[in-house]
Amino acid sequence: MSAIIEISNLTKRFKDFTAVDGLSLDIMEGECFGLLGPNGAGKTTLVKMLTTISPITSGSIKVMGLDLAKEPRRIKASFGVVPQGDNLDPELSVIENLTSFARYFEIPRAEALRRSHDVLSLFKLEHKANGQIKTLSGGMKRRLLLARSLLNNPKIIILDEPSVGLDPQSRNLVWQKLRELQERGVTLLLTTQNMDEAAVLSDRVAVMYQGRILALDTPKAMVLQHVGQEVVEILPEAAEAEQMLADLKKRGLDAEPAESLIQVFHADAGNLCTDLTTRGYRAWQRLGTLEDVFMRLTGRALVE
């Protein structure tokens, strides 16, 4: 498998602020690559540079072996983009939104109509073809944005929070269609704060923070490395929490506070829970998750 996107020493500065800081990353052809990070991590800035919305300060991006700085139009023609926000035209019908968008790619009218009906059917929106945008629910608009991104038969689809605002049924449909696209050889770049979405869809994930990549691996390997297969959670009395945390660390355990809980990673979860409950403490075990990894690497402080 070869790299379809090659990012080398990429930097983006806004005056004195560095949004992306010397980032290097290869995304492989046909994979779903998940890019995780809190607000302000640099994910959106990276996507804007990749889609030529924002100029690069330094470094380079190659797509399918082509230099983005030299051949932006050719590269953009191979992208499908699903923005986080709704940028549909409310003055046009559903089908008109699609056929108008197809003109950007110089798709002939008859072919644009055929493709538009095909993608509407794909996302279960064929009954809304002649409807107005204002009549669509939020979930339908989201599915329409996904449908629109397929009109130019892209080799790479960039998805910014693709399932935001979707109900469980719509989300499962979207996930199913994204898997089908990947099976057809389409490369997916997924930026999300939904850890379940990243774990389900991504072949590899990267955690981005303050313009840099802190960790990159498969979801399973990342969980095993940073938190372990199982996590023990303890709910101590407020007065004993500090002492309990100190005692756990004295035992050589990888423990840290998490709001009112204490979490223990990389432990023999079953034996530790048995020991703690025998001593009268409230403790339980659960599987480690990408969210645990995310919180450990980026911290628990609220980022606005």
Q: Are residues 137 and 275 both part of a single domain?
A: no
Q: Based on the domain organization, do 165 and 32 belong to the same domain?
A: yes
Residues 42 and 140 in one domain: yes
Tell me the torsion sign for CA atoms 59, 63, 66, 69: negative
Q: Tell whether 296 is covered by a domain.
A: no
Pairing of strands 204-209, 32-36: parallel
pLDDT surpasses 60 at 42? yes
Q: What is the pLDDT of residue 303?
A: 52
- What CATH number did the domain enclosing 109 receive? 3.40.50.300
Distance from C-alpha of 197 to C-alpha of 195, rounded to nearest angstrom: 5
Average pLDDT over residues 114-139: 94
- Per the prediction, the chain carries an average pLDDT of 93
What is the pLDDT, as a whole number, of residue 163? 83
Residue 304 has pLDDT above 70, yes or no: no
**Residue 256 is part of a domain; what is its CATH number?**
3.30.70.790
> What's the pLDDT score for residue 157?
97
133 within domain boundaries: yes
Q: What is the pLDDT of residues 150-197, one digit of tens each?
A: 999 999 999 988 888 888 888 899 999 999 999 999 999 999 888 999
Q: Are residues 55 and 105 both part of a single domain?
A: yes
Given a cut of 80, is residue 301 above it in pLDDT? no
In a domain, 151, yes or no: yes
Is the domain of 247 the same as that of 211? no
**What are 197-227's pLDDT values in tens digits?**
999 999 999 999 999 999 999 999 999 999 9
In this structure, are 33 and 103 located in the same domain? Answer: yes
116 domain-assigned = yes
Considering the domain architecture, whether residues 206 and 249 belong to the same structural domain is answered as no
- State how far the Cα of 49 lies from the Cα of 237, in Å rounded to an integer: 49
Number of domains in the chain: 2
The span from the CA of 257 to the CA of 151, in Å, is 48
Structural domain contains residue 153: yes
Identify the pLDDT of residue 84.
Answer: 83
Token code pair at residue 92: 């046009």
Which pLDDT score, from 0 to 100, does residue 39 have?
85
Let me know whether 122 and 77 are in one domain.
Answer: yes
Among 182, 201, 220, where does a domain finish? Answer: 220
Judgement on whether residues 39 and 182 belong to the same structural domain of the protein: yes
Specify if 297 maps to a domain: no
Q: Is the pLDDT of residue 246 over 70?
A: yes
Q: Which of 220, 242, 260 is the last residue of a domain?
A: 220
Q: Identify the residue whose tokens are 């949004």.
A: 19
Average pLDDT over residues 135-148: 93
Say whether both 247 and 214 belong to one domain.
no
Q: Phi, psi (5° rounding) for residue 155?
A: -90, -25
Tell me what pLDDT residue 300 has: 63
**Residue 300 covered by a domain:** no
Output phi, psi for 258, to 5 deg.
-145, 90
pLDDT for residue 53: 92
Does one domain contain both 186 and 83? yes
3-state secondary structure labels for all residues of 224-262: HHHCCCEEEEEECCHHHHHHHHHHHHHCCCEEEEECCEE
Domain that holds residue 96: 3-220
pLDDT of residue 74: 94
pTM of the predicted protein model: 0.91
Do residues 198 and 283 share a domain?
Answer: no
* Separation of alpha carbons 156 and 4, rounded Å: 9
pLDDT in tens, 75-88: 999 999 998 888 99
For residue 242, pLDDT over 90 is answered with yes
Residue 291 contacts by C-beta under 8 Å, 6 or more apart in sequence?
Answer: 195
Distance in angstroms (rounded) separating the CA atoms of residues 159 and 180: 15
Specify the pLDDT at position 18.
94
At 65-111, the pLDDT tens digits run 999 999 999 999 999 999 888 899 999 999 999 999 999 999 999 99
